[in-house]
């Protein structure tokens, strides 16, 4: 499938082209600032779809809104009409088209050109009145508060906020791109002409800044946000994408003694924490029980013996595991337990606990396991 993408070097365009390359089966014809409007008829040759992303939103002169938004779109419509065949057009408009300002007026007029083409020739058009789009590769200090805030927070620069209670509507660039792709692949039956991307997220400007600063604080307190779904997932991916390469790494505290070292890696507010420890040959770690806390151990290097004893019945159990056999060992409340390095090399073991360690209420009580049933 041959696709003409205008604004191919812009924020959405860069993300779109990456996805099209990953999908395969698409031949992309890019249109960018190095081209002129006169190039459009030739670029349309053999094209199956047009994704029209090009436009002006930060001109030096307001008249550029008309030429860069309305004029370019009209030229595109004329070129499609003159080619004598239908070429579906996806257009990235803006929610500003609903407002009376220079930018919004120019986008609304561009929509009008597309609607006129559709009415005259039945050429399919899909108009997206997008709210603020955010994600990787957006330009900071341009027209995206998310990009600017991410860039500044990631570099310890101040963030300027005029009204922290002002609410902004956001769509994630991956959701926008996936919606475009669903049209290209025939998976979206929306007849148009106006189409919406979902989900649309809402957050206050102050809330956005607070969330990004919590992401930053994770490197100090090790407590991660709930970055697996929804807006927090998308914002975290965006924030991390603005980290300069020299900040790709960070150190975490290491606690060591004669037995080995213990390092906490990541903590969650509702699903526990992750860490690892080492043990020298012959060293035993643990020797305690819990009332409610549970743990999962995974030996990733060395040989280990786990021992358990029931606190009421005295029942004894031991098992052996090693780094070459991925096997989770789970501790059970009411059983005292320990782990001994029974190999000749250092033991390295990953550990998950279902809760963040609380020094004031550790739910950890010393009690030797012993070595016999």
- Sorted by where each starts, the structural domains of the chain and their CATH numbers stand as 2-130 (3.40.50.720), 132-172+201-250 (3.40.50.720), 254-366 (2.60.120.10)
* 320 vs 152: CA distance, rounded Å: 50
* 268 vs 223: CA distance, rounded Å: 5
Least confident of 33-37, 134-138, 298-302: 33-37
* 267 vs 222: CA distance, rounded Å: 5
Average pLDDT for 215-233: 97
**Would strands 132-134 and 167-172 be described as parallel, antiparallel, or unpaired?**
parallel
For 312-326, how does the pLDDT look when each residue is reduced to its tens digit (9 = 90+)? 999 999 999 999 999
- Bond from prior residue into 344 cis (ω within 30 degrees of 0): no
* 286 vs 373: CA distance, rounded Å: 18
Are 217 and 210 contacting, i.e. CB atoms less than 8 angstroms apart?
A: no
Q: Which of 268, 330, 267 is nearest to 298 (CA)?
A: 330
Tokens of 160: 């300027």
Are 96 and 57 contacting, i.e. CB atoms less than 8 angstroms apart?
A: no
Q: Which residues are catalytic?
A: 103
Residue 94 bridge partners (DSSP): 130
The Cβ of residue 194 has, within 10 Å, a number of other Cβ atoms equal to 14
For 138-188, how does the pLDDT look when each residue is reduced to its tens digit (9 = 90+)? 999 998 999 999 999 999 999 999 999 999 999 999 999 999 999 999 987
The Cβ of residue 40 has, within 10 Å, a number of other Cβ atoms equal to 21
pTM for the structure as a whole: 0.92
Residue pointed to by tokens 């101040």: 158
* 125 vs 51: CA distance, rounded Å: 10
For 90-115, how does the pLDDT look when each residue is reduced to its tens digit (9 = 90+)? 999 999 999 989 889 999 999 999 99
pLDDT reading at 116 higher than 80: yes
| Size of the chain, expressed as the number of residues it contains | 373
- Bond from prior residue into 159 cis (ω within 30 degrees of 0): no
Query: In angstroms, how far is the first alpha carbon of the chain from the final one?
Result: 71
CA 243 to chain centroid, in Å, comes to 13
Of residues 60 and 38, which shows the higher confidence score? 38
* 115 vs 77: CA distance, rounded Å: 10
* 204 vs 212: CA distance, rounded Å: 12
Confidence at residue 239, expressed as pLDDT on a 0 to 100 scale: 98
């Amino acid at each position: 499938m041959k696709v003409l993408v205008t604004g191919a070097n812009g924020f959405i365009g860069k993300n779109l082209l990456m996805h099209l390359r990953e999908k395969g089966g698409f031949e992309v014809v890019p249109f960018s600032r190095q081209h002129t409007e006169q190039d459009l008829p030739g670029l349309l040759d053999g094209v199956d779809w047009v994704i029209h992303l090009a436009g002006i939103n930060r001109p030096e002169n307001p008249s550029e809104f008309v030429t860069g938004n309305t004029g370019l779109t009209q030229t595109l419509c004329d070129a499609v009409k003159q080619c004598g065949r239908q070429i579906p057009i996806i257009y990235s408009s803006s929610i500003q088209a609903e407002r009376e300002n220079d930018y919004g007026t120019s986008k609304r007029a561009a929509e009008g050109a597309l609607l006129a083409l559709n009415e005259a020739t039945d050429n399919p058009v899909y108009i997206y009145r997008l709210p603020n789009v955010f994600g990787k590769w957006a330009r900071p200090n341009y027209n995206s508060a998310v990009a600017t805030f991410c860039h500044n927070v990631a570099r310890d620069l101040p963030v300027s906020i005029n009204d922290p209670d002002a609410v902004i509507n956001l769509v994630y660039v991956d959701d926008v791109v996936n919606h475009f792709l669903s049209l290209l692949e025939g998976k979206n039956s929306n007849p148009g002409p106006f189409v919406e991307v979902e989900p649309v997220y809402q957050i206050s400007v102050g809330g956005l800044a607070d969330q990004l600063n919590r992401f930053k604080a994770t490197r100090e307190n090790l407590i991660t946000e709930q970055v697996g779904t929804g807006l927090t997932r998308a914002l975290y991916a965006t924030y991390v994408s603005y980290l300069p390469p020299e900040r790709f790494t960070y150190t975490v505290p290491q606690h060591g003694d004669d037995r080995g070292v213990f390092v906490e890696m990541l903590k969650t507010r509702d699903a526990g924490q992750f860490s690892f420890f080492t043990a020298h040959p012959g060293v035993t770690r643990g020797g305690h029980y819990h009332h409610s806390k549970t743990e999962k151990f995974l030996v990733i290097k060395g040989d280990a013996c786990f021992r358990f004893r029931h606190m009421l019945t005295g029942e004894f159990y031991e098992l052996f595991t090693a780094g070459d056999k991925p096997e989770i060992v789970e501790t059970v409340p009411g059983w005292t337990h320990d782990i001994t390095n029974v190999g000749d090399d250092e033991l390295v073991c990953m550990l998950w606990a279902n809760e963040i360690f609380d020094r004031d209420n550790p739910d950890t009580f010393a009690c030797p396991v012993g070595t016999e049933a």
